[in-house]
Amino acid sequence: MVFASLIVVGVSTLIQVRRLGFIGAAATLPMFTAAFAIPFCITAVQDGGPATLTTLLLLAAVAQIAISRWLFILRRVVTPTVGGTVMMILSITLASVVFDLLDDATQVTPDEASLTALVTMIVAAALTLRRSPLLRFWGPIAGIIVGCLVAGALGIFDTSRVTESAWIGLPAEYPGLGLDFGLEFWTLVPAFLFLGVIISIQANGASISMQRVAWREDRAVDFRQVQGAVAGGGASNLLAAIGGTVPNASNPGIIAFTQITGVASRRLGYSIGFFFILLAFLPKVSGLLSSIPGPVMTGYLIMVTGTLFVDGARTVIQNEQNNEKIAVAGVCFWIGAAFQFKLFALPDLGPVLNAMLASGITTGGLAAVVMILYLEFTNPRRVRFQSQLHIDALPELNAFIARFADSRGWDSAMKDRLSAVAEETLLTLAPLDLEGLLAEPDDDEDDEGKEERQLIVLASSDGPVADLEFIGEATTRTWRTGCASSSSTTRRRWWSRTSRCGCCATTPPRSATSSTTTPTSSRSRWSLPRLGELKRRAAACAVSAASPYHRP
């Protein structure tokens, strides 16, 4: 299993670095074995066996790829509230597994096992809680190393697997790939679907964060790379299912590493991927990893459990400014905890429903989805605006914003703030073609070079807060001209941007647009004073788009 895990991690990292079609982030985004997925895998193996685990992992991987392809549609359901709630419930589920592992170890050597777990946890926590990103990055690894040294000194570290393993070799046998659609599979389907949601949300956040720290200058976030990162996670878990290993997730430690070192080259990603593949063919490394004592893993997983709960709560609080949705997270967390620890008795609903309701992740996650859908259907309906993605669409956009503000009964001050945000966002999404503006009107370009871009604006409100979402689609033709021949290729680009405005202050939008620009032959006949004004406004827009959110 260790051999397959290392191979899958290495290949998955290479897929994220080297984009294949719509799969891959095209950035240094290493993958790692997701510790929070361990309870899912243990439950699947205990209830149904390896074939059930393989089938469930395949389903979760397909769900991740589907989320990446229809992220724009599913984002209304796959929200930070749902993902954060499931992560918090997952932390208490993982805690029960962790302490069962420690209980098994203490039955044989109670004093040594407890001391080893305590030392591992203290070292990992002491380094992780420091402000230095470098110490936080190496804290868990240092805790495991120190824990293994303590376990060896106390005589509970069995090194026979390491000493008996060869230096170079291959596994003696392949466990085989089987599928099982029995009762255990259907009872665990919701839990593994939520696992796919969690991994997708983590990939989404890791891709956005990596794009923000990977460039020396401020750039807009490329939504295509975000989709590719989510799809790359799905492809990684397809490989994990085939290899019979624990699912993989994006490694957030690369963000801190990039900030510290300033190294974000994809060559680093290639090196990491090939390094893990090389380790897979060293049986001594596999033997060392599989020989880590249970108390050491217990101390490490205690840190993972606490961090997972905090990450889930932070996901909800930082991404949801709606008090109702924050309340949904709190209520659903306790619903999941109540079902997980069987705090009340339920009537007999049949073997399938009884098994499903025994999982706190399933009950809490489904409750969160139902409540989010209820809020979506009961909130005021969104209104839609569509036009060409060009600066000339500004008057129509302002008229749309005015109608939207009037329909909500807002005053002129709020209307002006919304118009300012909409204008700023349009200038960011539709960068000026300065060469085209300065060229003579009589100069004609080949129609083959034109870029047809569409802008969609979705406006909604939640009390005194307005949500303006800008979505763009473009069909771009790039060409290469020669003496007597030319060739063109066509590609589609998507980007999205959301701005929020309160009735008492304007929230400067953070750009989430595509950073790719291509030549375009569209011309606008503006005077040079008008051109200078637009240049100044575009520069001011770029500065504001790179600034943090501000709320009063």
Span 307-340, pLDDT tens digits: 778 878 887 887 776 778 888 888 988 888 888 7
Residues constituting the chain: 552
DSSP labels, 72-88: HHHTTTS-HHHHHHHHH
Average pLDDT, the chain: 72
In the chain, what are the domain boundaries? 2-320, 383-480+487-545
**Residue 441 reports pLDDT greater than 80:** no
**Residue 512 reports pLDDT greater than 50:** no
Tens digits of per-residue pLDDT, 73-98? 676 777 778 878 888 887 887 777 77
**Residue 533 reports pLDDT greater than 60:** no
Tens digits of per-residue pLDDT, 414-437? 888 888 888 888 887 775 544 444
Alpha-carbon gap, residue 337 to 359, rounded angstroms: 9
What is the SS3 assignment for 265-320? CHHHHHHHHHHHHHHHCCHHHHHHHHCCCHHHHHHHHHHHHHHHHHHHHHHHHHHC
Lowest mean pLDDT segment, chosen from 102-111, 323-332, 514-523: 514-523
pLDDT at position 431: 59
pLDDT at position 521: 28
Amino acid at 286: S
Alpha-carbon gap, residue 410 to 466, rounded angstroms: 10
Q: How confident is the model at residue 473 (pLDDT cuts 50, 70, 90)?
A: low
Mean pLDDT over 451-472 rounds to: 76
Alpha-carbon gap, residue 110 to 124, rounded angstroms: 21
Alpha-carbon gap, residue 421 to 468, rounded angstroms: 9
**Residue 531 reports pLDDT greater than 50:** no
The CATH number of the domain covering residues in 383-480+487-545? 3.30.565
Alpha-carbon gap, residue 112 to 509, rounded angstroms: 55
Q: How confident is the model at residue 219 (pLDDT cuts 50, 70, 90)?
A: low
Q: What is the pTM of this model?
A: 0.63
pLDDT at position 270: 86
The β-bridge partners of 462 are 465
498 membership: H or E segment, kind and range: strand 486-502
Q: Which residue has the higher pLDDT, 358 or 547?
A: 358
Among 56-60, 184-188, 472-476, 485-489, the range with the most confident prediction by mean pLDDT is 56-60
Residue 460 Cα to chain centre, angstroms: 25
